[in-house]
A = this chain, B = another copy of it.
């Protein structure tokens, strides 16, 4: 729900209704709304870690990066509707005074670090810059895909990034 409507627009009443419990009940599990959001970020981080773990099974860094691209393309319909979960969270939480933005920043950094490691294994000494460029390309095309509601933008950019990765070898 936080992905679909954002943190601000999602009320505890929304969450309670989705969980089919009365509103007051939510406070038995989370003392504040911020605590609930924090738990959601942690859950999202765990999902990403699991995904990265699966990618690490692949033999070469090129395979792993291309598999990441394909997972992005597979998610294009969802992205067109709601954007990238990590990116829209980062964008929204940055505007708030609470410290939740740091939790999202860590998630984003983990992803960049993982990508940098792949480029390094490909023998690139500009691995960090390439990783930032790759994740930025994904975040940006997610935003455009969402803004224009055109899933095919993600697919086209994914194919372009694939050619780019191949050209780096």
**Chain A residues near B (Cβ < 8 Å):** 4-6, 8-9, 82-83, 87-88, 90-92, 94-96, 101, 104-105, 108-109, 112, 129, 132-133, 135-144, 146-148, 153, 156-157, 160
Contacts and interface: CB of A to CB of B under 8 A. Distances in A.
Nearest to A145: B136
A9 B94 CA distance: 11
Of listed A104, A108, A112, A136, residue having the most chain B CB within 10 A: A136
Given A87-B91, A105-B147, A139-B143, 7 more contacts: A82-B94, A91-B91, A108-B144, A135-B140, A136-B140, A136-B153, A143-B143
A95 B101 contact: no
Contact of A94 (B8, B83, B95, B108): B83
> How many copies are assembled?
2
A92 B94 contact: no
Given A92-B92, A94-B83, A144 B132 contact: yes
Given A137-B133, A137-B140, A92 B6 contact: yes
Contacts of A153: 132, 136
A54 to B, nearest CB: 24
A9 B96 contact: yes
